[in-house]
A = this chain, B = another copy of it.
């Protein structure tokens, strides 16, 4: 996931899609929706699924602290697709905070070897950022 964050840092402004979200009466939070894709190595499927079925509480807490919410990862035949919503106001700063956290780094040390970029990923891109072409609130 570390490269997802690097890539989003670079491309967030291109592909980030925004909306608003009511979480309290009369209060709207600006939401940036992000979609991305990566490959999962076939021999790592069980490990990856086990890790994500039982994610570390500290990882989830840190993600939330960094304003990530409604975050899902989907799998099918070697492909992982990630969908998340960012509700903060400084994506780069929040991603920097994530990338500096020792728990997150320990988690990525387990998950990174499970993945490999799609063949069409750009140089240095890990999770390949996708463009939102349709949205219905």
Chain B: minimal CB distance from A1 (Å): 10
**Are B53 and A130 in touch, CB under 8 angstroms?**
no
Partner of A17, one of B63, B64, B72: B72
**Are A76 and B128 in touch, CB under 8 angstroms?**
yes
Instruction: Indicate if A3 sits at the interface (CB-CB under 8 A).
Output: no
Given contacts A53-B133, A63-B136, A133-B52, contact A33 B76 (CB under 8 A): no
Tell me the chain A residues, 43-62 only, with Cβ under 8 Å from chain B: 48-49, 52-53, 55, 60
CA distance A128 to B23 in the complex (A): 32
Tell me the chain A residues, 118-137 only, with Cβ under 8 Å from chain B: 118, 120, 128-137
